[in-house]
Amino acid sequence: MAIIQLGQAFENFFAHRTRFPVFRRKGVDDRFTLTNDLVCIEGERIRIPKLGWVRMREALRFTGRIVSATISCVAGNWYVGITVDIPDATSLPSAENQGAVGVDLGVNTLATLSNGEVFTGPKALCTQLNKLRRLDRSLSRKVKGSRNRAKAKLKLARLHARIANLRRESLHQLTTSITRRFHTIGIENLNVKGMLSNRRLARSLADMSFHELRRQLEYKAVWRGGCIVVADRWYPSSKQCSCCGYRLEALDLGVRRWRCPGCSALHDRDINAAINLKKLAVSSTVSACGGDGAGPTRKRGVKLAPVKQESNSRTLVAGMASFCVSLEERTGGDMMT
């Protein structure tokens, strides 16, 4: 595993993604990987070479062949990540038949669904910001290499780990709830990198973690047999009226409600965008069906050919017949076959 990880590190280096690989230092990146022949798990304990049996907080939740186990230290706590090869028959139950849903992401609220549900993000960084600043100032005052600096560094690392765990827990609850209920999910493709260049919104955007939310939705939908439809980056989900389709020329970020000039309907910005994303997801899944059409129809024994192909063939035969007749008239009936 060390040789494989070294090869991956060199690939990242030559692709200009990371720096030149160096040896790990003790206390900086404490982790190592064990292969399947060196790992043994029984109930709530794991056997590690040269350490023996070590107790775990919970038992392994998956049954299958253990491929590898990575043991790492994060903020003074030791974790083990176990890779298990499970059969296809142990997949999660299919999503409930609650139709399609559109998910609009935002800064004030993490996600707004097309059915009116609103999920407020935990805003873990903003709520712990004062404590984070205090511990950061305390760390900067300590002498480098002293034991007090090591203690202050551990306190700061534990706070960062708590913030990350709060954010990750809320994202897992939200994505699990959406993928469990809805089969077709429409989301938007946000330019997060460009949005982070705004110094007034960068901290709030980073605290919401839009990319992690999309990543969890994609792989959890695959587990339950769902479908994720990603709208184009320039799709006007907020500017377009969900009732009549009227599109505004401009819509400021501070405007949360607007009235459609076409049908005089009053829209909430987030709910209107979620409804448009839902319609886009439904239309995309319908147009992706085969030539027989979409929706529940009676199954036929023989698949009918599309009408377009039949009309093209008749037009081609009629055109060839008229061409042969005109050629025969010009040649006086002496036409070679």
- Which positions are annotated as active-site residues? 104, 188, 270
Q: CB 145: neighbour CB atoms within 10 A? A: 7
Tell me the C-alpha distance between 158 and 254, whole Å. 36
Residue from 114, 237, 130 nearest 184 by CA: 114
Strand stretches in the chain, DSSP E: 31-35, 40-42, 45-48, 52-55, 65-74, 77-85, 100-105, 111-113, 118-119, 184-188, 227-231, 257-259, 266-268
Tell me the C-alpha distance between 68 and 35, whole Å. 4
- Taken in order 22, 25, 29, 33, is the CA torsion positive or negative? positive
Any residues with CB less than 8 A from the CB of 337 and at least 6 apart, and which?
none
Alpha carbon 98 to its chain's center: 21
Alpha carbon 52 to its chain's center: 39
DSSP 240: B
C-beta separation of 49 from 82 below 8 A? no
Q: Give the tokens for residue 241.
A: 């009226």
Amino acid at 274: A
Any residues with CB less than 8 A from the CB of 184 and at least 6 apart, and which?
99, 100, 101, 226, 227, 229, 281, 282, 285
Tell me the C-alpha distance between 125 and 305, whole Å. 58
